[in-house]
Each structure stands twice: as C-alpha cells, then as structure tokens.
A and B are shown apart, each in its own frame.
Chain A
Amino acid sequence: MEMNGAASDYPPGRIMWQCVAGLFHHLIMNYAAYSTEDFLADESFQSFVIGHDATAGQFWRAWIVQNPARQPEFDEAVALLQLLATRQPQPLPEALKQEEAAKLRHAMHPPVAPRAQPVLRVGRHARRWASAVVAALALGFAGVRLWQHATPTAPTWTSYTTHTGEHREVTLPDGSRVTMNANSVLKLATTWQPGHVREVWLAGEAFFAVRHTAPAHLKAVATAPAGVKFVVHAGPLDVAVLGTQFNVLRRVGKTRVVLNTGQIQLRHRQAGRLDQVLLEPGELVEYNETAPQAALVKRMVRADFYSAWTSGQLQFDQTPVADIVALLKDSYGLDVALGNPALARQKLTGTVPNHDVDVLLNAVGKSLDVKVRRQGNRVWLE
C-alpha cells in the first residue's frame, strides 16, 4: 500500500533515474550532469545547505568552483533548501526535564520490598490478644502500603535555604550532616527509603559529612550498588559517594567539587557524553559553563582551605604561597601577581580568619614582608 501510494504521485521515468542516481552517488562525473531536481534529491547536497555535515560542505563548495556551468541549477537548489533551514528550537525548561528524569530514575530504582514480617511467638493465653495485635498491625501495614502505592512517583520534597551571611547545619534522614554556606538551597525527598540511593540537589555551597551505610568492607564507590550511594546533584555534575567528607560549590557558571576524605565518583551528565572521574582526598575538579565540552580534570589542592568557610578560619601549616595564590583565585576570584617568583616557594604557618579577604591579604603580606596592593580583582605582592 505504502509503495503504491508513494509511487502514484511520481512519474515512472523519474523513479528509474532516481535509482540510478542513488547507485552512482559518489561518481563525480555523474554530478556534472546534475539538474536542479538532482541536487534537491541528493542527501549530501541537502546536508551541505542545511549545515548538518561539514565534509559535505567542503565537497560542494569545491565542486561548484570546478563546475561553473551548473551554477544556475546549483543556486536554485541552494535557495529552495535554504527555505527549509530551521531555527534551533527553544530548549525545554530545565525544570520539566529534571522532573521527568527524576521520575525515570525513581522507576529504575524502585524502593526495596518490605521485609517479611517477624513471626510472633506467644503462649496459649496470650494468643487471642496477640491475634488482635496482628490484625491491627496488618491493617496498619495495609494502610502504609496503600499510601505508598498511591504516591509511587510523587515524593514530597523538603528544601533548606540560607540567606546572605547565614550558615546552617542540617541533619539528613540517614544521619549525614550538611553545613550550608550563605545563599544556598538544598533539596531532597522528605523520606528516604532504606536500600535506596540517597539523593540531594544543591545550588550554592555546602560541606557534606556523609554517613557510610554500606557494609564496612564496601569501600570503592565505583563498584558499590546504587542503593548504598549518596549522590549530590550539582548543576551538570553528579557527586556519588559512600561515606566521605567533601565540599561542593554550585554557582552560576561553575561547579566545583573538593574531596577531604574518602572517595568520590564524579559524573558529568550533560553535552551528550558520560564523562566520569574518581577523586582521591585532596583533589579538586571544576566545571565551567564557558567550556561545557571540556573533559573533567582533577588537580591536587589543600582541601581544608576549600571548606575553611565552615569554621571561619584558614590554617596554614608550612603551606607554600603558591597554594595560597591558588586559593585566592578559586575562592575569592583574585588574580595575584608575585613581584618575585621565588615568593611562590615560601612557606607560611598560622591561622587567619577567612571571612574578610583584605585581612587575609594583609596577614599574608606581613608574614612575607612584602607590600600588598589591590585593585578590584587584581592583587600585587611585591
């Protein structure tokens, strides 16, 4: 039926020519006789005009230079196909996709089935009373089961928010502790099913101390089952751990993860790739939206510097100035120029408050016996 329907609005002679054109698609000599129709039907030519294929573009641009006699047909076919050049459709709202993705994840990892109910062992006298208890329990369970069944894909959410200048300590349903920095939002399902992946969503900055719920021998996060993992979703990054301490920063344009203890399995979800790295203590990974295609790269840092905001103090212990310069760049957005490159190798020891970057800079300057000059985001130590 379909064949007939398609063929009926088609002159028979052309079908033959179409087949032949298909067979000799890649013979250049064949293109030399191309009519407008032939150009239109040619997939490589379509790709060239519509811009799906760079190789086709090169080929056809070179071809028309070699075959100027075909210019009118070529131009007409280009113009017609250009009429059909499409605009990139508006991307869908991120919230819609996130909600649908969460539904799918939920369906892929359903909550574990409730354990078999314990058998009640009772003496003869107590039996009648016990059966009443069993009945009541059964009703209770049925109620819970019904309630769970009624809302299988619509968990209720809890979110915690901090405002400017505010820090907040949050204890999660599994006993893990989160310290939230200012201007942050942490979101999670209100109840967590045992044996189900623990998930939170973060915007802003937070330090996580995650409880290890897996059996003690399970230490490698990469090979652990999903049910014992704890995952922080921060922008395009998924931070998966078993039981560790780490800092996650998610601000507009960038996402940064620094690991203090344990292990992190870090995944990058977007841009059509599955990029993942395993972090060891002291490693930092930063993702910048300006380079969404760049692979995730680790580097070693002083991890405690990046969580120093939780205590309000930076502790230097024979810390090279180079590390402090990196911190000033990462945490305060300051570009520090050293008048003398040898300064980078000097080491500092001591404690400074970290909430005021000028106090910090002055302390560094005094210790090194150099002048500190600051202009906006640029700092000179000379």
Chain B
Amino acid sequence: MTDERSAQLWEAFRDGDAHALSALFEIYYDALYHYGLKLTGDEELVKDCIQNLFQKLWRRREGLRAVQVVKAYLFKALRRHLGDETKLLRKHRHLLPTYIDSFEVIYSHEEFLIAQQVDAEQSAHLMAALNRLSKRQREALYLKFFDGFSYERIAEVMSLNTQSVRNLVFNALQTLRKVMVLALVLVLMLAK
C-alpha cells in the first residue's frame, strides 16, 4: 500500500465515501491492533478503541483535513484514544485489580527472526536487553522496526520532535550494541 493510494482513499472518505473508510479499516486493522496490543496488552480495549476511532472519524469527516501519511495519522489517533481510555481505567483501578499499569511495549522472542537462530540463552539475553530500554525507546524501536516508520512519522505518532526520536532510536541501538557483543559475534558468524 503506497502512501499516495492511502491518501486518495482518505480524500474519498472525506467526501463521504463509506467504502473508502472501510478499505482503510481493512488495510490498517492488523497493524493498529498489534500496536495497540503492544501498548496495553488488552485485546478488548484495543478492539473497542479501534472501532470507536473509525466511527468517530466517520462522524467527524467533514471537519478533517488532508493527511500525507494515513497510517501515521491513525497510529497517533489510536495512541491518544488508548491513552484516554487507560487513564479512565486507572482511575477505577480498584475495580480492576488485575489491570497492569503498563502502556508500554514488551518484546518477546517470537517476534524476532534472529532469536530463532541463536540459542535460548542468547535469545533471552536479547529480550532482557530490549525490555530494559526506556519505555519511549522501546516504543520508538517498535514503530521503526515493526512498522517501518521514518523518524519523522514516529515523531508524529509519539508527539515528539524528530531529533528526539532520532536520539531515542540511536541510544537504544547503542545500548543494545554494548549488551549484545557476544550475540553479535554469533550473528556475524552466521552471516559468513
């Protein structure tokens, strides 16, 4: 899906074409769902928030502007929705004793190609290193490596400036580099 084609669908949707919004819903549902689930770990909450987000877009279509990268716009909007909902849930936390106060990305080894190739210890080492990164570093890495967003779009999604995102990603990679010296040697050997 190219950004231009999505932007065209977005324009058609703003003109009142319900099929265009349905198409965007189908195109980005998986990515939004996985991102939301990464942030909150709560499937029902994520489903409801995505549904509410699109219904709200439809109701307010006349007040919306053109966007360059629809995917980034939707990610940002979902992130805000999830934030609002999570705040509400937190307020009533006594009602939800099992609710984990997270809103953060937790990585697991199933998600990485390389973790399948190195031994369990190395893989655990990598996951521990990833999950020791700051919340924002983990989220920026997720948006970069799982969704292929540019620094500029990550900045849009996370409401940061581009330089901050550049720093977040760079520092995260530097930290991993220090921690993963041994795994790196293995990877280099595998690559040869």
Contacts and interface: CB of A to CB of B under 8 A. Distances in A.
A81 B176 CA distance: 10
Contact of A2 (B116, B164, B180): B164
Contacts of A3: 161, 164
A82 B54 CA distance: 35
Given A6-B160, A105-B18, A226-B18, A83 B55 contact: no
Given A15-B167, A80-B184, A274-B19, A87 B110 contact: yes
By secondary structure, the A interface counts as helix
Interface in B110-129: 110-114, 116, 126
Interface in A273-319: 273-274
B114 A47 contact: no
A206 to B, nearest CB: 23
B81 interface: no
A162 to B, nearest CB: 29
B5 interface: yes
Contacts of B1: 272-273
A40 B167 CA distance: 11
A373 B168 CA distance: 71
B184 A76 contact: yes
Nearest to B129: A83
Contact of A103 (B51, B170, B180): B51
Interface stretch (B87-95, B97-105, B145-153): B145-153
Contacts of B187: 79, 82-83
Interface string A148-189: 000000000000000000000000000000000000000000
B78 interface: no
B7 to A, nearest CB: 13
Interface string A19-40: 1001000000000000011001
B22 A40 contact: no
Contact of A100 (B9, B29, B177): B29
Contact of A109 (B12, B18, B169, B184): B18
Contacts of B177: 36, 40, 76, 80
B51 A105 contact: no
A104 B168 CA distance: 36
A270 B27 CA distance: 7
B188 A80 contact: no
A10 B167 contact: yes
Contacts of B34: 89
Given A86-B146, A87-B111, A87-B112, A97 B184 contact: no
Contacts, number: 145
A9 interface: yes
Given A3-B164, A87-B111, A89-B30, A104 B55 contact: yes
A196 to B, nearest CB: 13
**What size tier do the contact residues of chain B reach?**
35 or more
B173 interface: yes
Interface in B23-74: 23, 25-27, 29-30, 33-34, 47, 50-51, 54-55, 58
A62 B141 CA distance: 27
A52 interface: yes
A108 B18 contact: yes
Contacts of A76: 177, 184, 188
Most buried by A among B30, B34, B116: B30
Interface string A201-242: 000000000000000000000000010000000000000000
A139 interface: no
B171 to A, nearest CB: 6
Given A87-B110, A101-B25, A104-B55, 14 more contacts: A76-B177, A79-B187, A80-B173, A80-B177, A82-B113, A83-B184, A104-B25, A104-B51, A105-B18, A108-B55, A269-B22, A270-B26, A272-B1, A274-B12
